[in-house]
Amino acid sequence: MMAEEAVSVPVAATARRRWQLPHDWRGQTAMGIALIFGAAIMLLPFLWMVATSLSRKANVSMPRTPSFWPPDPSFFNYFVATANLPIVRLYLNSLIVVGVTTTGYLFFSAIAGYAFAKGRFPGKSILFIVFLATLFIPFETRMIPLYLFMGHLKLTNTYWALILPFLAGGFGTFLMRQTISTIPDELIEAARIDGASEFRIFIQIILPLCKPTLATLAILNVIWRWNDVLWPLLVTSKRDLFTVTQGLALAGRSSGIYTGVALATAVMAILPVIVAYLFLQRYVIRSVVSSGVKG
């Protein structure tokens, strides 16, 4: 923001002296070229992937010079990929898992955050430390016993295995507590005097006031859960329960020699996320930066 204001002055100056280039046009041009070159390096693999996925020949032989336009454009590889992998089912699985975990994670984070921000009860700080301690335990540390535990509960190869471990967490609780602490007590006190129960205050007053933080948490959780591959690989081995990312990982390893088909699968797996990102990019970038946590 500040930087934009700072540079708006020379722009106004150039508008007055219409036929002169801005004094720093050399620097601006050089930076523009460098930045566009960098952006091209970011985009080229994506474009090459899409072009290759549309080429039937790519499964047999690839041109020795990379081509960004398929010589024989067709959706053949997409049909093969869909036949190999129940892709619609995979999308449905991912949507169910991501939807339920995100809803649960937001709800439990918010309600625990409310209790820690506004509640008065014995043992509050100890309980808060218990919640925060989970931040310091990487998932990888507990994945093996968790996997065996899921086996004991007969939950492997069910949606429960993909959902239950991710419903509550210290990070969301901490973020929600920080947000709810900034809500003035008077607002809650007024509702209490009107006879509202704590739960009703939570639903009708607290949640609507936390929408920006809830949106941040939702975006982060969707990115994490959609892209997670380690845990689904462990607890689900039936094709009908695969998530999109997991299906892609397994298909990529088994159909690796069929370049076109493998890349068509990859395009199908990432396209929805990228389309959603292009619509929500401002919120997505802000969420990832403000929380300092990446996917």
Partner 1 sequence: MAPGPIPSLTGSGATPSRFGRAFRNAITWYSFLLPPLLLILIFVGYPTLLTFRQSLFTETVDGDVFAGTYHFQRLLTNAVFWGAIGNTVLLGVAFLVIIIPLATVFASMLNRIRRGATPLKVIYFLPQLTSSVAVAIMFHYVFQPDWGLLNGGLRGLGVDHLPLWLSDPRYNLTGSRAAVTLLAVWAGLGYFIIVLLAGLQSIPTDLYDAAAIDGASPVQSWYYITLPSLRPTFIFLIMTGTIDALSRFGDLWTLGGPGGSPARSLQSIVMFMFQAGFESSDFSLSAASAVVFFLIVLAVTAVAFWGFLRREFKAIR
Give least dist CB 236 to partner 1, A: 13
Give least dist CB 209 to partner 1, A: 17
Q: CA-CA distance, 219 to 106, in Å (whole number)? A: 11
Question: Which structure tokens are listed for 90?
Answer: 């995979």
Give least dist CB 246 to partner 1, A: 8
3-state secondary structure of 55: strand
| Cβ proximity to partner 1, 217 vs 284, nearer residue | 284
| Cβ proximity to partner 1, 184 vs 195, nearer residue | 195
| Cβ proximity to partner 1, 219 vs 241, nearer residue | 219
Give least dist CB 240 to partner 1, A: 19
C-beta neighbour count of 71 within 10 angstroms: 12
| Cβ proximity to partner 1, 241 vs 263, nearer residue | 263
Give least dist CB 260 to partner 1, A: 10
State residue 255 phi and psi, 5-degree precision: -105, 25
| Cβ proximity to partner 1, 74 vs 197, nearer residue | 197
Give least dist CB 8 to partner 1, A: 9
Question: Which structure tokens are listed for 226?
Answer: 């959609």
3-state secondary structure of 292: coil
| Cβ proximity to partner 1, 79 vs 139, nearer residue | 139
| Cβ proximity to partner 1, 83 vs 133, nearer residue | 133
Q: CA angle at residue 267 from 280 to 139, to 5 degrees?
A: 70
CB-CB contact of 174 with 135 (8 Å): yes
Q: CA-CA distance, 61 to 81, in Å (whole number)? A: 18
Give least dist CB 64 to partner 1, A: 5
Amino acid occupying residue 11: V
| Cβ proximity to partner 1, 195 vs 208, nearer residue | 195
DSSP letter, residue 67 = -
Distances (CA, A) of 243 to 22, 23, 107, 200, 250: 53, 54, 23, 36, 11
Distances (CA, A) of 173 to 87, 114, 181, 239, 285: 34, 9, 12, 34, 21
Q: CA angle at residue 292 from 273 to 214, to 5 degrees?
A: 65
Question: Which structure tokens are listed for 178?
Answer: 């920080």
Give least dist CB 229 to partner 1, A: 5
